[in-house]
Amino acid sequence: MRSTPNRPILVAEISANHNQNLQLAKHTIKAAKLAGADFVKLQTYTPECLTIQSDKPYFRIDSGTLWDGQSLYDLYKQAYTPFEWHKELFAYARSLGVGIFSSPFSPAALELLENLHCPMYKIASFEITDTSFISLVASTQKPIIISTGAAKHEQILDALEACHNAGNHDITLLLCTSAYPAPLESACLRAMPALARYGVRYGLSDHTQGDICALLASALGASMIEKHFIIKRTLGGVDSSFSMEAREFATLAQKLQDAALALGDGDLDKRLESNSSVFARSLFIVEDIKQGEILTARNIRSIRPAHGLPPKRLGEILGRKASRDLQAGEPLRDGDFEQDI
């Protein structure tokens, strides 16, 4: 888990990167743990949860995506994580000490995940309008993460209302560009902190390639960052081209730790106190002075280091008499001079 305060929770989205191989799914979870993920995330559905098997044009993908030419059903059949794997994958992740949760897409999926004591739930971008299902998920009273995708203000309000009506206020909204991969110019990260206006935590579900958006999101106050994760892109699969490799993910995790250290907690007073330097100037005795002798600009100067009185007091001190013998090279302190001229 997070070792640096204020670092975003880092989620490795496994998605379809198991390529329908249970052992590869387990290897991917272990690789994500070793790479620094706080949580791995699954998607819990069957093709029938999402669509029907049909050759009608409505069900064919032709919107300029990586998957154009396929039917929705065929895509989801390639991508889904079998229900019968979930118990083993949850147990395996927990044995490694990495968190695990999922995005449910049906009441049956939610029931399965509840039986596995899933600690929190994610609502996928394209599910944000299904407020009846969001209400059902929220009724578990577990933290809810909602990807906003292309959702409009009214749709976000409807989703939040569904959670609130279920008595659930533990919500994180994720900025998300529903393109795979998402071009950098579509990220609009300056808009992410505006999600706070809904009275929730906010973060980023990042479909861009590389780590620049994740790092910028951290600087903008993201509480959670999600990246699609794959051991190596050469494994192929429906999500491979926009997934982050294990070695890249490990670099991102370290950069987020470093960024959190550099950003600090925003306490300016604490920063100023910790940033005080002995190399600042202060008032020093630069010539031997006998008791009763006048302090002048010749025998008292503002020099480095900062062990003496502050330089701003020089004007009030010049012209006063030494209260004792003073030695050159010693810092000037209260008590070294008479208080009245």
**CATH number for the domain harbouring residue 211:** 3.20.20.70
Q: Is residue 15 part of a domain?
A: yes
Residue range(s) defining the domain that contains residue 323: 277-341
Q: So what's the pLDDT on residue 274?
A: 59
Token pair listed for 324: 């004792």
Q: So what's the pLDDT on residue 192?
A: 97
Residues 18, 137: one domain? Answer: yes
Residues 125, 237: one domain? Answer: yes
Q: So what's the pLDDT on residue 339?
A: 86
> Does residue 145 contact residue 120 with C-beta atoms inside 8 Å?
yes
pTM of the model: 0.86
Residues 199, 317: one domain? Answer: no
Residues 258, 282: one domain? Answer: no
Q: So what's the pLDDT on residue 273?
A: 63
Residues 189, 303: one domain? Answer: no
Q: Is residue 340 part of a domain?
A: yes
Q: Mean pLDDT in each 10-residue stretch from start to end of the chain (341 residues)? A: 76 96 98 98 96 93 78 92 98 98 98 98 96 98 95 97 98 92 93 97 96 97 97 93 96 96 84 73 98 97 96 97 97 93 55
Q: Is residue 65 part of a domain?
A: no
Phi and psi torsions of 283, nearest 5°? -85, 125
Residues 145, 259: one domain? Answer: yes
Of 238, 269, 300, at which residue does a domain stop? 269
Residues 89, 211: one domain? Answer: yes
Q: So what's the pLDDT on residue 1?
A: 41
Q: So what's the pLDDT on residue 265?
A: 84
Of 269, 287, 317, at which residue does a domain stop? 269
Of 248, 269, 290, at which residue does a domain stop? 269
To the nearest 10°, the Cα dihedral for 174, 245, 21, 109? -10
How many domains does the structure of the chain reveal? 2
Q: Is residue 284 part of a domain?
A: yes
Residues 200, 303: one domain? Answer: no
Q: Is residue 55 part of a domain?
A: no
Q: Is residue 63 part of a domain?
A: no
Relative to beta strand 144-147, strand 121-123 is parallel
Residues 199, 238: one domain? Answer: yes
Q: So what's the pLDDT on residue 70?
A: 86
Residues 202, 340: one domain? Answer: no
Q: Is residue 62 part of a domain?
A: no
Could you give the angle at which helices 107-115 and 131-138 cross, rounded to 10 degrees?
10
Residues 174, 32: one domain? Answer: yes
> Does residue 74 contact residue 96 with C-beta atoms inside 8 Å?
no
CATH no. for residue 289?
3.90.1210.10
| Burial tier of 171 (Cβ tally within 10 Å: 0-12, 13-18, 19+) | buried
Residues 336, 215: one domain? Answer: no
Q: Is residue 73 part of a domain?
A: no
